[in-house]
Amino acid sequence: MSFIRHVGKIGDRKAAVVFRQIPGEDHMCLVVYTETLNAHIHDPLMQCIESDIGQNSENLADALNRTHTRDGKMILQVLHHEGLLKKIQTSQVLMTPTPTTKIRLDELNKILTEMQLGEAAVKRLAEIDQSAGLQDPADVARRMRVAKEAQSKMTSTPGALGDSELANSLRQQAMKMASEAKGLLAESDRLLKEASQLEGVKPETTKPKSTRSKKAVTT
């Protein structure tokens, strides 16, 4: 294979980069020194790196978490439990995807991040376009014309209410409500009178005014 991801060097030591960046510590990575591994781990690990799964994984850890050692253990778990994962600064790792290609891991991470942001921006623009955020002027004009024609039909339809018709309708409703209100007031007075009779309260009567005879004034 002419191009192999996830492999590099730290000084003169060959290493496989398991995590390109540690969450919360973007300047750090996790690597495993491949030359110090036993054969039952080394060979399956290298086969995983060169496989389609390994080459298509953003982080080698994703592929190693699905690959087993010769004795049937998950490679990633073995590397973790045996303390074979080493925390290294990304600036110290030199990636060697080909015999003639070398790039520092921190620089590679920066490039890959910019590529991801670019792809995200392109995808976002496409979503905005699909949701009519970016619209075809001809399509906008067509929809405005259809809406205007629909509005014109509504105003020209026989029987549609104009201002005067609407005012008359409101006036009739107001008169009807006033008539109903008078009926309710009359019913309220009647119920109050019945309640007073049931409680034995005599209705108030008006007392006649007393008249006094005026004395004749004699001179």
Each residue's pLDDT tens digit in the chain (219 positions)? 478 999 999 999 999 999 999 999 999 999 999 999 999 999 999 999 999 999 999 999 999 999 999 989 999 999 999 999 999 999 999 999 988 889 999 999 998 888 878 777 666 666 655 654 445 555 556 666 666 666 555 555 444 445 566 666 667 766 777 777 777 777 777 877 877 777 775 555 445 455 444 444 444
SS3 82: coil
Question: In this structure, are residues 57 and 63 in contact, taking their beta carbons and an 8 Å threshold?
Answer: yes
- If you write DSSP's letter for every residue of 179-193 in order, what string do you get? HHHHHHHHHHHHHHH
Bridge partner residues of 68 (DSSP): 74
First to last CA, the chain: 152
- Short-list 172, 169, 149, CA closest to 159: 169
The pLDDT assigned to 171 comes to: 72
Size of the chain, expressed as the number of residues it contains: 219
SS3 68: strand
The pLDDT assigned to 50 comes to: 94
